[in-house]
Structure 1
Amino acid sequence: MIEAYILIQVRSGTAHEVAEQLSGLDGVAEAHVVMGPYDVIAFVRVCDTEAMHELTIGRMHTLPGVSRTLTCSVVPSQTCSHRPSPIDR
């Protein structure tokens, strides 16, 4: 299993539409509109690199409004712990 965060730049005014379309793609666990140099971030889970290529190049890049993507693969770690946020305490 490969997990990644994909940062997506879109044409002005299309961020919400792109995030909604991404949410419907197989492999996309979450998609959110964000502020900063990228407009949308997606968290994806796929079975292998071929599936990642198909998702990013074959599906995401064909969505209307998508200009560019940057894939940041998650490095597996057995020492990662999920602690509650100070906000949640």
Structure 2
Amino acid sequence: MGCRNCKATNLIRQKLGRCRQCMIQLTVLSLCSWGAWFYFYLPTPKVVESITLLFAASCFSLLLLAHFVVALALRMKKKNRQQQTAP
């Protein structure tokens, strides 16, 4: 489900926070799954389908959060390098 760059590399450390296309896909999947859960299964949270969709939505959201944290860390690291090399 990732882009060509993500399919070419196997290490998760090399994938997180670098691919905008993957982060957009995760955002759409997260929003759709949370929206579907709230629309269809909010009144019946103990149904198996509800728990499954809740689990999927949580996983999408956590992976998206991991992408954002790593992207922020990479951006801060890049900014620090630029400030250290500037005269």
Question: Do both share a fold (TM > 0.5)?
Answer: no
Q: What TM-score comes out, normalization by structure 2 length?
A: 0.26
Looking at both structures, which has the greater relative contact order when contacts are Cα pairs under 8 Å and sequence separation is at least 6?
Answer: 1
Scaled by the length of structure 1, the TM-score of the pair is 0.26
Higher strand proportion (structure 1 or 2): 1
Choose 1 or 2 for highest CA Rg: 2
